[in-house]
Amino acid sequence: MHTVVLGTAGVTAADVVAVARRDARIELAPEAVEALAAARRIVDALAAKPEPVYGVSTGFGALATRHISPELRAQLQRNIVRSHAAGMGPRVEREVVRALMFLRLKTVCSGRTGVRPEVARTMADVLNAGITPVVHEYGSLGCSGDLAPLSHCALTLMGEGDAEGPDGTVRPAGELLAEHGITPVELREKEGLALLNGTDGMLGMLVMALDDLDTLYKSADVTAALSLEALLGTDRVLAPELHAIRPHPGQAASAANMLAVLKGSELTGHHQDDAPRVQDAYSVRCAPQVAGAGRDTMAHARLVAERELAAAVDNPVVLADGRVESNGNFHGAPVAYVLDFLAIAAADLGSIAERRTDRLLDKNRSHGLPPFLADDAGVDSGLMIAQYTQAALVSELKRLAVPASADSIPSSAMQEDHVSMGWSAARKLRTAVDNLARIVAVELYAATRGIELREGLKPAPASRAVIAAAREAGVRGAGPDRFLAPDLAAADAFVRSGALLAAAEGVTGALA
C-alpha cells in the first residue's frame, strides 16, 4: 500500500487524493516529530507565565478576554471541541472527512500549532485504522477554519461522538478506538483550538474536484469531437495556427485534443455536401474556447491549492523565532473564490455540451440524422427525454454557479463579522462536478448513436475505439425504444471511471 510521509513542508495534491480516496497509509517524518516537540516546548513555557496568551490561557473568539486558570485549561480544550461539534444535516462523504483530517494533520506537522507529537500520532493512527468521524453537512462558515466539521473529527480523537469503522458501520468512537488499540487523547493548552482552526475541508474538496475535473475536461473534449463527427462538422477550426493567434493555453490544449481524436475521420468536412453550411454553430466551433477557458480556470485553482497545501493555517501560530502570534490566515477567501470560479466553468462546459446534444436530436439542424435519433420516429421517441434530463442537469449547474463567496454572515457576537462561506462553495462544487459527469455522459450517448447512424463513412479510429469500449461497458447503441435509464447510468459510469478517456487515449496517446 502507498505510504505518505508527512514532514514539515506541506503535502501535494496527489498525497491528498491517495489518503482520501485510496486509503494510503500515513507516517510522520522524524523532522515533523522534532518540530512538534520544539513548538510544544514554547507553548508550555507560555502556559507557565502569568500573562494571558490567546488560545493557551484565554477563552476563544468573543470570549478571549477571560484569563483561564491552569486547573481549568484541560477542561477548556475539551469544551471547545464538544461545543463546536455542532454540525447538522446529512453525513459528509468518507473521502471528504479523510481529506479534512489529513490536511489538519499536515498543518499540525508543520510545527506551527504547538500540538504535542502524541496528538499527531493519534490522528495518523485513526486515519490508518480506517476510522472516519461522522461529520455533518452544515456548521462551517469558512472562517476561523471549518470549525464544526473539524470539531467532529477532534471529538473522535477524544474517544467521543460517533464514527464509521472500516466495515462501514457507524458506532461510538470510543469503541472503535479501543478495538484498534488507540488511546484517546487528553487535550492540553491550545490543542483543542489547533485541531479546529483550518481551511482543511474546503481545501480537500478543492483538490478532489480538480482531480475529477481533469478527467472530465479531457472527456468533454472527446465527446465534443464525437459530436462534431456526428454532425458532419469541419475540423479545420481546430488547426493549431488558429489557436496560436489567441494564445490561451487551455484553448490550444482542448483544440489539440479534439484534433487528435478526429484524426483519420471520414465524417468531418462533409458539411457542404448536402447543405450550404459555411461554418458550424458556436456549440461545435467554439468548443475549444469554452473548454479551454475552464482549463485555464483550473490552472489558477491548482496554483491556489498548491499554495494552501504548503501553508500552516492556525490561530495563533508558533513562529520560528518563538513568538506565538494571532493572525487571520484561517480566512477561506482564497480557496472560496476558486471553488466558485470552478462551479461557473463547470456550468458553462455543461451548457455547451447540452447544446450539441440538442443539435444532434433536431432533424432541422442535425444534417440528415433522424428526429431524436429515433429508430422509427413517431413510434419511437429516441433520446428526446434523455436531453430533458441533460437540460435539467444544466439548469441545476447554473443555479450552483451562483457564488457562495459573495455572501457573508456575522457570527460570534460580531467578533467574526466577515466570513468566506468557502465550505458552502466546496459543497456545491461537488454537486456540480457530479452533474457535469452526467451531462458529458448524455452527450456521449447521443454522439455515439449519431455516428453509428451515419452509414457509408468511417469515423476516426479513436472514435471507433470509444464506441466499442462504450458498447462493451453496457452503453447500448441505436435501436428501438427501450428502458433508457440503465443505458444512461452505464454511460455515466463509463465517463466517471475514466474508461471513456482511456479508450480514446488508447489510440491518440495521452491527451493534454
Tens digit of pLDDT per residue, the chain (512 long)?
689 999 999 999 999 999 999 999 999 999 999 999 999 999 999 888 888 888 787 776 667 778 888 888 889 899 999 999 999 999 999 999 999 999 999 999 999 999 999 999 999 999 999 999 999 999 999 988 899 999 999 999 999 999 999 999 999 999 999 999 999 999 999 999 999 989 999 999 999 999 999 999 999 999 999 999 999 999 999 999 999 999 999 999 999 999 999 999 999 987 555 555 678 999 999 999 999 999 999 999 999 999 999 999 999 999 999 899 989 999 999 999 999 999 999 999 999 999 999 999 999 999 999 999 999 999 999 999 999 999 999 999 999 999 999 999 999 888 889 999 999 999 999 999 999 999 999 999 999 999 999 988 999 999 999 999 999 999 999 999 999 999 999 999 999 999 999 999 999 999 99
DSSP string, 280-333: --HHHHTHHHHHHHHHHHHHHHHHHHHHHHT----SSEE-TTS-EE---TT--H
Q: Do residues 212 and 433 touch, judged by C-beta distance below 8 A?
A: yes
pLDDT attached to residue 47: 87
pLDDT attached to residue 8: 96
What the block records as the C-alpha cell of 379 is: 413510434
The question of whether 54 is a catalytic residue gets the answer yes
What the block records as the C-alpha cell of 387 is: 436531453
pLDDT attached to residue 278: 73
What the block records as the C-alpha cell of 220 is: 468533454
Q: Do residues 421 and 407 touch, judged by C-beta distance below 8 A?
A: yes
Residue 109, classed as helix, strand or coil, is coil
Taking phi over 0 as left and psi of -120 to 50 as alpha, with beta for the rest, 386 belongs to alpha
Beta bridge partners of 172: 162
- Full-model pTM: 0.96
Residue 467, classed as helix, strand or coil, is helix
pLDDT attached to residue 234: 93
Query: What CA–CA distance (Å, rounded) separates 69 from 131?
Result: 35
**409 DSSP 8-state letter:** -
pLDDT attached to residue 271: 56
Beta bridge partners of 162: 172
The sign of the dihedral angle between the CA atoms of 218, 220, 223, 227 is negative
The residue annotated as part of the active site, out of 54, 138, 388, 445, is 54
Query: What CA–CA distance (Å, rounded) separates 166 from 487?
Result: 32
pLDDT attached to residue 62: 67
pLDDT attached to residue 274: 56
pLDDT attached to residue 334: 97
pLDDT attached to residue 141: 95
Q: Mention every residue, 6+ apart, whose C-beta is less than 8 A from residue 320.
A: none
